[in-house]
Structure 1
Amino acid sequence: MKEFLTDLKNHVMTGVSYMIPAVTVGGICIAVALATGEAGDTGMVITSTFWNNVNTIGGIAIGYMCPMLAGYTAYSIAGRPGLLPGFALGSLANTAVGTSSVSTGFLGALVLGIAAGYLAKWVKGWKVPKVIKSIMPILIIPLVTTMTIGLLYIYIFANPLGGLVTAMTNGLSGLSSGSTVLLGIAVGCMIAFDMGGPVNKVAFATSVALIAEGNTSMMGMCGVAICVPPIGMGLATFICKKKFTEEEREAGKASAVMGCIGITEGAIPFAASDPIRVLPSIMTGSAVGAVIAGLCACTNAAPHGGLIVLPVVGNALMYTAAVLVGSLVVVGMIFILKKDVVEE
C-alpha cells in the first residue's frame, strides 16, 4: 500500500509539473491585464484593447490547467494511451455538465486523471488478438477509458454534486444574517477548498449577489479569502524553502503576484501536489483572514478580491492586515505540516 501511494504521488507530481506553466503564464497575463483596469459592477473592467487581448491570452493559457493536470497524470500512470483520456476528462471536469450544470475544477480533474490512468493501464493489459493489438493504444484504450469514466462522471457524480452546491448556497445565505465568525469561517474555507471550483463559486456568487442588495461586508471577507492561499503559498516557498522543489519555489513567485491581483488559482499547483497538507493550511489561513475582515467591518464594493480592489474597500488598513495575518497562518501551518523535500 505504501509503495502504491508513493507511486501515485509521483504520478500526480508529473501532472502538476506539466500544469505549472499553464497556471503561471496564464495567471500572470491575467494579473497584469487586470492591474490596468478598474472595479466595475461585475468585476474588474479593462478598457484598453491591448490589455484585453493579454487577458484573453491568459484566460486561454490558464484554461489548459485542468486538462494538463489530468492528462499528464494519466500519462504518467498508463503511458501514451492515457494521455488523450486524461486531457478529455480534465476538460470535462472544467465544464458544467449534467442537469446540475456544475464543474468540479482542479479537484475533479485530479480525480478523473487518476481514474483514467489506472483504467487505461488495466485495459492496456487485456489479452487481445494480434489483429486488434495494433489499434489498442490509438483507439481501443483511449475510447474505452474516455467513454467509461466520462459517462460515469456525468450520470453518477455530476448531479449529486449539483444538489450539494445548492444546499451549500442556501446554507451560506442563511449564515449571512447570523454570526460573523461562523460566516467568515465558512466563506474562508469554501473559497480556499477548491480555488475556482464549485465550492469556491458558491461563496463568491453569494457574496456578489449581496453586493447588489447593498451588503458589501461578505464580499470584504471573500476578497481577503481569495488572495490568502496564493500569497500564503508564495511566502511559504520563500520562508520555508526546504519544503518545496526548485520548480515550486519559482511557481511561488508567480503565486504571490496572482494573489495580490485576486487570482486564487495560483495556489493550485501546491494543493494538487500535496492536498493533505496544503488544503488544511490554506483553508485555515483564508478562514482566519475572512473572520478578521468580518470583525473589523471591512467592506468590498467590487466583485473581485485581492489587494487590487483596495480603492473600493472600506477599512482598507484592516483588510490588508487580514490578508497578511491569514497568509502568515498559511506559512506557519506549512512549516508545521509539510516535510522537507529531497530532490533527486
Structure 2
Amino acid sequence: MKKLLAVTACPTGIAHTYMAAESLQKAADQKGVPIKVETRGAVGVENGLTAQEIAEAHAIIIAADTDVDEDRFAGKPVIRVAVAQGIKVPGELIDRALAKEASSGLGASPTSRPEENEGRKPNMFYKHLMNGVSNMLPLVIAGGLIIAFSFLFAFTKGGVDQVEGSFGAALSTIGGASMGLMVIVLSGFISFSIAGKPGLAPGLVGGVLAKDMGAGFIGGIIAGFVAGYIAHYLIKTIKMPKNFEGLKPILIVPVLSVLAIGLLMVYVIGQPIEWLLTGLTAWLTNMGAGNAIMLGAILGAMMALDMGGPFNKTAYTFAVGLLGASLYTPMAAVMAAGMTPPLGIWLATVIAKNRFTKEEREAGKVASVLGLSFITEGAIPFGAADPIRVIPSFMVGSAVAGALSMYFGGGLHAPHGGVFVLFIPNAIDHLPQYVLSIVIGTVVTALMVLLLKRKAPAKL
C-alpha cells in the first residue's frame, strides 16, 4: 500500500499548521491511505519524519509558507502548496500525491523529475518573507507583551516614572531588548531562507545596519532579500580548487557578502529607505480622520480576506513594523479586525441557531475562543464552506472594526494578546472605545453573515 508523508507549517505556527495537518489526516483516513503529518509550529517540530519513513514513502505533501527542510526529500515526488491549500483541498492533495510516479529512494537526484518542483517558484518571495516573519514574531510578541506588563509598575506608559533598577524598569528593558532584535532577525532569516547558512551572516548585518540607520522594518526586508541573493549568487558562481572548496562557505562568501550588503546599505539603500520610513511615520502620525478611517478599513479587510494567509500576514507585519516607530494605532486596528471574523460567526450561530447545523454551532463555540485570543483562523471552516457569502461578510465586519478603531484613536502597545491584553493597564489607548469597535465589528459581521448566508448551509 502506498504510504504518504506530509509537512505543514505557517508563519506563526499557531493555527494554520495544525488545521492543515488535521485536514490532511482526515482526508487520508477517509480514503484509506496511510499518512504521517509532521507539524512545524510555534512549539517546534512535532511528529517528525524519520529517514526510514521518508525512504519508504510514495510521495510527500508540503503544505507550508515557511522553510521545512526540504533537502531531506531529495529524489521523492513532492507536492508543494501553501498551507491554506492543506486546509481547503486536502482530498485533492492526497489524490495528486498518490498519482505521482513511485520514488526510487533517497539516493535519487532532487532534479531527476521535473514535476517534483511543482508549485515551488510562484510562492518563493512570500515564502522567504514569511520565513523571516515567523522567526521574528516570537521576539516581537514576547517583547511587546513584557513591555505591556511593565505598565503595571508605572504611572505612565513606557515606564517613564519608573525608578531605575525597579522591577518595572527591568521588565521594560527586557521587552525592549527583545523588540530591538525584530528587524535584525527579520532580515537575517529572509536571507537564510534564500541562501541557507551562508546567507545568515550578511542578512543579520544588513538588519543591524537597517536598524541603526533608521530604515526600520522596510529596510530590514530589503536588506534580507538583497543579502540573500548576493550570498546565493556568490555560492553558485565562485569556483575554487577542490582542496580549497571548504573555505568558500566559512571565509570567501561571508566576507564578500557582508562587505557587499554593508556597502549597499551605507551608500545606496539605507538613506532612501530611512527617508521613506520617516515620511510614512509622519503621514501616519498626522493623518486626518478620513485617512485614518480609510487605512483602518483597508487593514481590517486584509485581515479577513484570507484569515492568516498572505494578505492577513502582510497587514499584521505592517502594523508590527510600525511599533518600532511608536505608532500603535495600526496595531490596534489589525487586532480588532482579526478578532471579529471568528467572534462574528459565533454570534451568528447564537442569534439564528436554525440557520446552522449542529456541527457548525459547535464550531462556532470554538471560533469564539479563538477570536478572543486574536486567532483569526478560527473562522476558516465557515469561510471555506461558503466563501462567496461568508468571506465578504467577514471583510465588511473587519473593515468596520478597523475603521472605528482608527477613528477612536485606539492604540495597542503589544503585538498580540487578544482579549487578555485588555486587562493590562495602559496597554491600550482609549480602551472603552476600542472595545466598542470590536463589539460593533462583531455585530456587523454576524448580521452580514445572516443576510447573505443560505438558509440551508452546507455541512462543515
The TM-score range, normalised by the shorter chain, is 0.5 to 0.7
C-alpha distance after superposition, 1:234-262 (max 9, x if no partner): 11111122232211211211211221222
Distance 1:257 1:85 in 2: 26
Q: Any gaps of 5 or more consecutive residues in structure 1?
A: 1-42, 44-58, 127-135, 141-146
Alignment of 1:122-271 (within 5 A): 123=99, 151-154=117-120, 156-159=121-124, 161=126, 177=284, 179-271=291-383
Distance 1:215 1:291 in 2: 16
Could you state the TM-score of these two structures normalised by the residue count of structure 1?
A: 0.62
Distance 2:388 2:369 in 1: 24
**Alignment check: 8 A CA contact 1:72 1:83 kept:** no
How much does 1:96 deviate?
3.9
Amino acid at match of 1:107: A
1:325 aligns with 2:291: no
Amino acid at match of 2:96: L
State the match for 1:56 in structure 2.
none
How much does 1:114 deviate?
5.0
Percent pairwise identity: 32
Amino acid at match of 2:122: F
**Alignment check: 8 A CA contact 2:66 2:127 kept:** no
State the match for 2:457 in structure 1.
341
Could you state the TM-score of these two structures normalised by the residue count of structure 2?
A: 0.48
**Alignment check: 8 A CA contact 2:360 2:459 kept:** no
Alignment of 1:49-128 (within 5 A): 63-73=17-27, 79-81=31-33, 91-96=62-67, 106-110=83-87, 113=90, 115-119=92-96, 123=99
How much does 1:70 deviate?
3.8
The count of residues paired between Structure 1 and Structure 2 equals 257
State the match for 2:209 in structure 1.
none
Distance 1:214 1:343 in 2: 45
**Alignment check: 8 A CA contact 1:74 1:86 kept:** no
1:343–1:193 CA distance, 2 compared to 1 (3 A): closer
C-alpha distance after superposition, 1:259-318 (max 9, x if no partner): 122222211221222222221111111111000000111111010153222231111111
**Alignment check: 8 A CA contact 2:296 2:333 kept:** yes
C-alpha distance after superposition, 1:179-228 (max 9, x if no partner): 21221122111111222222212111211111111110111111211211
**Alignment check: 8 A CA contact 1:92 1:150 kept:** no
1:316 aligns with 2:431: yes
**Alignment check: 8 A CA contact 2:405 2:433 kept:** yes
1:263–1:181 CA distance, 2 compared to 1 (3 A): same
Amino acid at match of 1:116: L
Q: Any gaps of 5 or more consecutive residues in structure 2?
A: 1-11, 40-58, 70-79, 105-112, 131-217, 223-276
State the match for 1:304 in structure 2.
416
C-alpha distance after superposition, 1:317-336 (max 9, x if no partner): 11111101111111111111
SS of residue paired to 2:457: coil
1:194–1:149 CA distance, 2 compared to 1 (3 A): farther
SS of residue paired to 1:92: strand
Alignment of 1:25-44 (within 5 A): none
Distance 2:61 2:358 in 1: 26
Amino acid at match of 1:259: G
Amino acid at match of 2:118: L
1:251–1:297 CA distance, 2 compared to 1 (3 A): same
Higher relative CO (Cα under 8 Å, sequence separation at least 6) belongs to 1
Distance 2:60 2:298 in 1: 30
Distance 1:343 1:230 in 2: 18
State the match for 2:169 in structure 1.
none
**Alignment check: 8 A CA contact 1:284 1:329 kept:** yes
SS of residue paired to 1:95: coil
The structure whose residues are more often helix, as a share, is: 1
How much does 1:84 deviate?
6.3
SS of residue paired to 2:118: helix
Distance 2:361 2:114 in 1: 38
**Alignment check: 8 A CA contact 1:290 1:322 kept:** yes
Amino acid at match of 2:26: Y
How much does 1:343 deviate?
6.7
**Alignment check: 8 A CA contact 1:284 1:330 kept:** yes
Distance 2:316 2:346 in 1: 22
How much does 1:119 deviate?
3.1
Distance 2:448 2:375 in 1: 21
Distance 2:115 2:21 in 1: 15
The structure whose residues are more often strand, as a share, is: 2
How much does 1:71 deviate?
4.5
Larger Rg: 2
Amino acid at match of 2:20: C
How much does 1:164 deviate?
10
